[in-house]
Amino acid sequence: MGKVLNDSAAHRVTLLLLVAGLAFAPPVVHAQDQKGDGVTVDLEVIDGDSGQPVENVVVRIPKLGTYVLTDSLGRTQLVDVEIGRFRLVLTRMGYEAKQGEFTIDRSGSFRIALTPVLVRTDAEPGEIMGRVIDPETREGIAGAEVTVAGVLHRATDEQGWFTVELVPAGAHVIEAEYLGRQTLRDSIFVRDGQTLEVELTLPVEAIELAGITVTAHARFLSRAGFFRRQRAAPAFRGRQWTAEELADRDPYYLQHVLTEVPGIRLTAPGALRGTNVGLVGSRRCRLKVFVDDFAMDDWFDLDGIDPRRVAAMELYHGSTLPSRYIGECGVILVWLKRR
């Protein structure tokens, strides 16, 4: 679990990691001449099943207010770390959170394996979610019957939305019908573990129209409820951004995008550590940040995340926050890209 590198006769290093009941503790010989100097720790995070590197792991030392993200090789550095004993916390969507006590005397390197919690996508069925609408008014059609593969039946809700779960991977025929409207029949292809968003149009008369629009979504965003909240956006005060929308803006910092939301402002730079995003007219009320569904500490700096690594981002404020999130005046939800 742990490995110490770069030992020398002049200095000895102790890296003690207690994670999931496992301990690695080399002989302890305290450094004598590094008191007060920061050290550098190289960290590699891998998948406990496949041994492959894990990208976008949030690595935190709460006591020091330090956090970093692993790169595409699962590697990162903790720079200028004080000599001492600290709690190390690792979080990543799709993996069990891991934390343990970390004692360091000098610079060194070690590796940590995270345990996956999701079923692998090569064995997962897909999912179809979408809406049945009138092609002229664009309004949803309530009570329309949607059938996939001839056996999976769903009725649309009051706004015309439906979800078909546990769809086997492969090509299927999808049908939508409603009394007094033209029946739609088209083919779709569902990949393993993929969520398809479809729009089905049912005209009153038989006219030639493009019957179906298919959009593929990342399954982990679907499971996280991003698209459900996106559809229900009018119920919340806030905004959502996809990776494509962020790429169009090409922001240097994520916080600059957030100010597009009415009522949101940046606090004075450097006034306090942490995310400098708050409500207009409030100097103390800052929005709580969640990264891959994990609540970040108040000192977490949102500008430390490269916008190019974000799959989606959401901001909500006021009294109508999504029920699973708690923030004094609002929340910022950041979803990192996955391989």
Residues 253 and 168 in one domain: no
Give the residue, 282 or 130, on which the prediction is more confident.
130
Whole-angstrom distance, CA of residue 225 vs CA of residue 247: 22
pLDDT single digits (tens) 45-91: 999 988 999 987 888 888 877 778 888 899 998 888 888 888 888 87
- Model pLDDT, residue 279: 53
Whole-angstrom distance, CA of residue 228 vs CA of residue 221: 10
Which of 95-99, 130-134, 185-189 reaches the highest mean pLDDT? 130-134
In a domain, 238, yes or no: yes
- In percent, how much of the chain has pLDDT > 70? 74
Distances (CA, A) of 271 to 253, 268, 275, 298: 17, 5, 10, 14
Residues 233 and 327 in one domain: yes
267 pLDDT above the threshold of 70: no
CATH number for 243: 2.170.130.10
Strand partners, 132: 200
Last-in-domain residue among 77, 93, 114: 114
Last-in-domain residue among 166, 197, 217: 217
In a domain, 4, yes or no: no
The greatest distance separating any two alpha carbons of the chain, rounded to the nearest whole angstrom, comes to 87
In the DSSP assignment, the letter for residue 5 is -
Instruction: Give burial (CB, 10 Å; 0-12/13-18/19+) of 285.
Output: middle
- Model pLDDT, residue 215: 62
Residues 194 and 268 in one domain: no
Record the tokens describing residue 166, joined without a space. 């546990």
| Residue 167 pLDDT class (50, 70, 90 cuts) | confident
- Contact status, residue 197 vs residue 219, Cβ threshold 8 Å: no
- Contact status, residue 137 vs residue 94, Cβ threshold 8 Å: no
Residues 185 and 267 in one domain: no
Residues 104 and 20 in one domain: yes
CATH number for 182: 2.60.40.1120
**Which strand (E) or helix (H) includes residue 289?**
strand 288-291
What range does the domain containing 184 cover? 121-217
Residues 286 and 310 in one domain: yes
Domain count for the chain, please give it: 3
pLDDT single digits (tens) 112-143: 999 886 544 454 788 899 999 999 999 999 99
- Contact status, residue 316 vs residue 330, Cβ threshold 8 Å: yes
CA-nearest of 301, 294, 297 to 276 is: 301
Residues 89 and 138 in one domain: no
Residues 230 and 329 in one domain: yes
In a domain, 1, yes or no: no
pLDDT single digits (tens) 209-240: 556 666 666 677 887 788 878 777 666 677 88
Give the residue, 120 or 257, on which the prediction is more confident.
257
Residues 187 and 260 in one domain: no
Residues 232 and 213 in one domain: no
Return left, alpha or beta for 104; rule: phi > 0 is left, psi -120 to 50 is alpha, else beta: beta
CA-nearest of 124, 322, 304 to 218 is: 124
Please, what's the b/e burial string for 293-326 (b: 16 or more CB within 10 A of its CB; e: otherwise)?
Answer: eeebeeebbbeebebeebbbbbbbbeeebbeebe
- Model pLDDT, residue 162: 93
Residues 231 and 332 in one domain: yes
In a domain, 6, yes or no: no
CATH number for 31: 2.60.40.10
Strand partners, 330: 317
In a domain, 170, yes or no: yes
In a domain, 324, yes or no: yes
In a 13 Å sphere around the CA of 288, the CA atoms on its Cβ side amount to: 18
Instruction: Give burial (CB, 10 Å; 0-12/13-18/19+) of 253.
Output: middle
Q: What is the mean pLDDT of residues 275-293?
A: 68
Residues 125 and 198 in one domain: yes
In a domain, 98, yes or no: yes
Record the tokens describing residue 213, joined without a space. 């629009």
Last-in-domain residue among 186, 217, 248: 217
Record the tokens describing residue 169, joined without a space. 């991977």
| Residue 15 pLDDT class (50, 70, 90 cuts) | very low
In a domain, 55, yes or no: yes
Q: What is the mean pLDDT of residues 11-31?
A: 32
**φ and ψ of 42, to 5 deg:** -90, 130
